[in-house]
Amino acid sequence: MSAYIINSKAISPQFSFNGIDWDCISPASRYMSAKEPNYKDFFPVLKLRRMSRIVKMGLTSATECLKESGIENPGAIITSTGWGCLEDTFKFLDEIAEKKEQTLSPATFIQSTHNTVGGQIALMLNCQEYNNVYVNHTSSFEHGLLDALMLLNENVNNILIGGVDELTQMDFALKEKAGYWKAEDKIPHLPDCKSGGTLAGEGSVFFLLNSEPLNNCHSHVQDVRIRTEENAKGILLELLHDKDLQISDIQVCISGINGDYNENKLYKDFLTRNLGNSVHCYYKHLCGQYDTSSAFALWLANEVIRKQIVPESIKVEPKQKVGNRIENILLYNYSEPNDHAFILVSKTSI
């Protein structure tokens, strides 16, 4: 069962909420915070006062995705996140320390859980349908997509699915002590970085999926594969075989190249050995590294297929040329020790 992308909405470190301008890309930096819309345009001020930043991002991208699709209520809501509401989690932990575990506010705890965004979306829409959240580190969004594919196979339609994670000063500082981020502020070309560490990022991306294509549908998710193996080639070949495709049918591969020298080498070796004739692209210089950044990668793949253009700013090798038509895009993300995630996105012909 394919999942047709009816609409998508992305809040990211780029101006992507109303469509991205490829000539005005914000440069990559070690701290990439989202460029958020004016939330007063979408919600009353009194409601906004009770929302944390991640809830604002999630609610706005989700509800606007539905509104632009002409759908009042989804058939299911699936959210994915790596860390949930980090800012509220830190507030709750601070309150525990300050009040010595006495007279704690339940509201702070309620707002700190991983399912807060999904619950708030359901409350806002008064939706009592299937509602689930996936927290699986860097494959959180892929697990949510698998759930969506199974629901579509059970005749559930208009599935609202998204990936949401926020970047906070505390989270950044803790991971910086562990050497997780790059030391330099300006990173000219992520695939050529020789240093360790990556970029801190955040975002909220939501999609409306259906089992049937509509007039405004440009692409669909054919399959998702998440496996732990030493060699990713076997997973790739199995995926293509099941979809009756050849490696030559993949025109573009968007990988999770993140600027860390060791991971860059792993990605480049995989691409060179297995997808040598595809145009190699990357995306984390646009959104940074966060656990559900693959949702942004899917949004990017949908944009590439919709416009039938691969922007020079996302190519690993700018000289690579794509053919006349972009039919299939493969998304590939790796995380230690040997976790591989593939998403196959194809052009929809209506």
pTM of the complete model? 0.95
Residue with tokens 């299911």: 76
Q: Which of 97-101, 184-188, 284-288, 329-333 has the lowest mean pLDDT?
A: 97-101
Nearest Cα to 171, choosing from 27, 33, 16? 33
Strands, E, within 12-126: which ranges? Answer: 76-80
In one letter, which amino acid is 65? C
Q: Are 133 and 118 in contact (CB under 8 A)?
A: yes
pLDDT, residue 215, reads 78
**Mean model confidence pLDDT for the chain:** 92
- Work out the widest C-alpha separation in the chain, in whole angstroms: 66
Q: Which of 41-55, 150-164, 189-203, 241-255 has the lowest mean pLDDT?
A: 41-55
Q: Are 131 and 117 in contact (CB under 8 A)?
A: no
The two tokens of residue 212 are 């049937």
pLDDT, residue 350, reads 65
Q: How remote is the C-alpha of 173 from its chain's centroid? A: 23
Q: Are 283 and 297 in contact (CB under 8 A)?
A: yes
Domains and CATH numbers, the chain: 3-210 (3.40.47.10), 219-347 (3.40.47.10)
**Sign of torsion over alpha carbons 149, 151, 153, 155:** negative
